[in-house]
Homo-oligomer: A and B are copies of this chain.
Amino acid sequence: MVQCNSAGGAIQTVRENESYSLSVTPRGARVHAVTPAGALRGLATFAQLVELGPEGYRLPAVEIEDTPRFPWRGLMLDVSRHWMPIAVVKRTLDAMAAVKLNVFHWHLSDDQGFRVESSSRPKLHEMGSDGHYYTHDEVREIIAYARDRGIRVVPEFDMPGHATSWLVGYPELGSAPGPFQIERKWGIFNPCLDPGNEEVYRFLDGLIGEMAALFPDEYFHVGGDEVNGEQWKANARIQEFMRSHGMKQEHELQAYFSKRVQEIVARHGKKMMGWDEILQPGLPRDVAVQSWRGQKSLAEAARQGYSGILSSGYYLDLMYHSSEHYAVDPLGKEAASLTPEEQKLILGGEACEWAEFATPENIDARLWPRGAVVAERLWSPQSVRDVADMYRRLEAVSRKLDFAGADHLASYRRMTQRLAGVRDVEPVRVLAGVVEPVKKYSRNRIQKGSYTSFTPLNRMVDVARPESIEAIQVSRMVERLPLTAGEIRRRLLIWRDNDARLQPVIQQSALLAEVAPLSRDLASIATTGLEALDRIQAGQHDPGWASRQEKSLDAASQQHAELLLSVVDPVRRLVRLAK
């Protein structure tokens, strides 16, 4: 039975009451909430508790009183770097609802594409999107779909930088002469709106007015990040504008721009939101900041009286482990010195997925299950922080997300099969299971900036999971030796013997050729691991042997094909135990 005390507002707000109680007894289950959003959270918990048992589907008898720690629990999806069709957005919303995330932050424009139809400024989507944009009807469909799941939709139009795609159709808005083309590479680029041109503000008034009417949420995100100022420095007219307005540095010009944009956003009835850089003296207190730079910047904003959310530490595209995201708290050390009132200004956080290396095919595996870890950090008490317990539950959550419609497990099967072609996929999966993509922004650096939006993302690095659960499990087993010796040996043998099975597949697959050295390294590391295990079990410790092995492990920990061999870590632990 679901009891809900009110219909909820027409538009869900950040102040929405999401608390619920859930009571499960042998006689039935009852969700009780003040708002529909709260009822949805209760139902999500209910669904999470359901499990298959010997007599049928069942759930434990529980009495739960639950309320989120933070009111803003978001996921940002970049649909500009790679286009994400409606189906991707919908299944992302389904998965978000399952883990109680409540803000879908839709990064709709960037240098590589302007992704929404504009009736007032049609050359934005006509010339800036390669035809890949959402129509107004589709936007409304997504907003309704999200609303049905208790999720707010906050649109972002990134400006004045990250706006190359705008300038393709409207070069006159730029800080340098055009023509401009849709950007195909990844990085920070020079094209930028011209803050000294009054026409820019007239343009933005039209565009923001249109989009403010289309998106009902109270917040409107204007980006504001990573302006390098190159075009401003190079433009005599802009330099003259700065001088005449008493500005010495480019960041002052951006402050001026932010203030003007904030006035437009406010005129259209919205609160402005932006990345750290927007925060400049003189902005009204209802502006909210999203911190990608770090907790210090967020705490500083709160101290000045601005509300904000944390995204630093929650960037899913950087390929960090779940445990690293789990350790990041919006009210971390930097917030300790804030007053309780100031702490309340920190509304929560958002997991962010920048899509330079994500496509509709592998996006789900980038979002999930790690996104669920951020979701838990934002919902549950700060005291819930047992990493081993988190990993234990994460596997179950991953399967639940699969059944909720997320594609992360399905795409893994499909993409590994593609790597194998018509040949045996099992040895491909063994290797893929123990490697991870390189971290942070190093893929583009390794390839010397040669990646473009047209580069196929169909290699092992595009399939491999951001964290090898296999490697994490075996590392944990090493801590529990000697109890786990048998299981560790079993895994090491599989790794050692995989190369012989995989090399014939590699030889027939252009997509796999690059991982041949990794496969050989895996065999060699596993052999080292087996020897270490023998020594540990026989009590034959040998510091000389161990330090030689550690050196060769250092070599094996270098990237190959933009991949890291994650099992170096557990084997290194074994070797140290044999010291």
Contacts and interface: CB of A to CB of B under 8 A. Distances in A.
A53 B508 contact: yes
A54 B508 contact: yes
A20 B421 CA distance: 27
A396 interface: yes
A409 B507 CA distance: 26
A104 B509 CA distance: 36
B53 A510 contact: yes
B54 A507 contact: yes
A418 B50 CA distance: 12
Contacts of A441: none
Nearest to A417: B399
A409 B425 CA distance: 14
Complex copy number for this chain:
2
Given A53-B510, A54-B509, A507-B54, A422 B399 contact: yes
Contacts of A395: 422
A422 B508 CA distance: 36
A421 B396 CA distance: 9
A52 B511 contact: yes
A402 interface: yes
A454 interface: no
A265 to B, nearest CB: 37
A243 interface: no
Interface in A12-46: none
A414 interface: yes
Contacts of A57: 510
Contacts of A396: 422
Interface string A380-410: 0000000000000001100100110000011
A551 interface: no
B413 A52 contact: no
Contacts of A65: none
Nearest 7 CB-CB pairs, A to B? A52-B421, A56-B510, A410-B410, A396-B422, A52-B509, A55-B510, A54-B508
Interface of A: 51-57, 395-396, 399, 402-403, 409-410, 413-414, 417-418, 421-422, 507-511, 513
22 contacts: A51-B421, A51-B422, A52-B421, A52-B422, A52-B508, A52-B511, A53-B421, A53-B509, A54-B507, A54-B508, A54-B509, A54-B510, A54-B513, A396-B422, A402-B414, A402-B417, A403-B418, A409-B413, A409-B414, A410-B413, A410-B414, A413-B413
